[in-house]
Amino acid sequence: MIDLEARARTLNEQAVTPRLPVELVLKRGHRIRVRRRVAAVVVAGSLLVVGLAGAAMHSTGTTKHLVVTGSTTQPRPTATASAPPHAVPAPKQFIAHLEQGGSARPGKVVIIDTATGSTIRSIGADYDPYLSNGFAIARAAGVALWTRLNEPAQTLELVETPLTGGAARVMTSSGFLDGPLPEQRSAPLLTAVDAAGARLWMNGNAIVDLSTGKQQRVQAPPVETGWSWDTASWMPDGHELFMVEGQDLPRTCYTDIGPALGPPRTTPAECITTPATRSSRTRGLVYDLSDPNGGWRVTATPDRPEGWWGLRILGAGRLPSTVVAVGNFAPTTTGAASTLMTVDVNTGAIVDQLKLPADANVLSVDASGTNILFTTNRRLERVSLADPKLVILRRQVAEAAW
């Protein structure tokens, strides 16, 4: 089940209305963390299937704009054999947001030593009720990035802080937490930092050089009415951007109508989803920065019945044209095991796949596309796509990133 409020929080300016008690905000954050463990995205609707014409036009290089067509009769791509991933040493440190110690205290933001799990230094303490936005380390710029709740103003802020410690600088701010939902929603607050740790792709159409602060605008993604962003990432080459869009369920699907006890209720047809409808109502898009006039093109869908549905994109993969995604084996089943996948966006092939323990909450992938941070059973752990052995780092944290 999707949290429409969390997905609707953007950097667009919105009217500020009376603030909510912080206890209520934190309870909402807890609910969001629980939902992230059940399923990454739930999308459905009535639009026709996204065609594979976008993938074809990328291969030919002749068409310059996004094209969405009807159903295609072309066979689905199948996973191709590839060399197994090599073991890459995990980054020496990562950023983490510790569990909040009650409503009166925000959670500490700390730098942790990967080898020992010990805290190197504390660089802040903030509330962040919308944990799906995530944290990031911009290594080239030497700063940590995260979203936080400005409790007095009841706004979300994107801040940066030197990894060596120091005052946080507010990069930009969103509107009020419970502001109106726009018809066309933009990207999450913190979208993605490139693999080099030098550039931030923010709000869907701005690229920020984290060393100089210089911004570059790109063509806004094609977010149609009734659709919204799900997740986004840089590609391994550092000059392509990737995102997943999904069609939203009608708001009535999220309303529990009727008494708790009584006759069985009939689920409206528009709220019923199948693997086929999930696949047809999600799509992957790529933007090539070296071809600014090319626009966003449709990619292939992963070689799975649901397509991009139910997958959260963690970052660039270990191979060219790939991303690392996480989803559930059985998205409708509570406690289903999470699955890590390296997906080729040009062919749809799933070249790596690793099953994690039940209820694992995957947090981050490193720049190599092989090392993963996740939490489960009140612990923070890591794993490598090259070695399924789980390594316990320390007690559980709310968020973490390499």
pLDDT digits (tens, 9 = 90+) for 285-298: 999 999 988 999 99
CA distances from 178 to 28, 204, 402 (A): 12, 21, 31
Q: What residue type is assigned to position 383 of the chain?
A: V
pTM of the predicted structure, to 2 decimals: 0.76
Does the domain made of 4-255+265-401 have the CATH classification 3.30.420.40?
A: no
**117 with 93: CB under 8 angstroms?**
no
Pairing state of beta strands 371-376 and 361-365? antiparallel
**272 with 256: CB under 8 angstroms?**
no
| 67-71, 192-196, 269-273, 390-394: segment of lowest average pLDDT | 67-71
Pairing state of beta strands 312-316 and 107-113? unpaired
pLDDT digits (tens, 9 = 90+) for 81-112: 467 899 999 999 999 998 765 556 788 999 99
Averaged pLDDT score across all residues of the chain: 75
Q: What residue type is assigned to position 288 of the chain?
A: D
pLDDT digits (tens, 9 = 90+) for 234-275: 999 999 999 999 998 887 786 655 555 555 567 788 888 899
* pLDDT for res 259: 54
* pLDDT for res 336: 57
* DSSP-assigned states of every residue in 288-319: ETT-TTS-EEE-PPPSSTTTTTT-EEEEE-SS
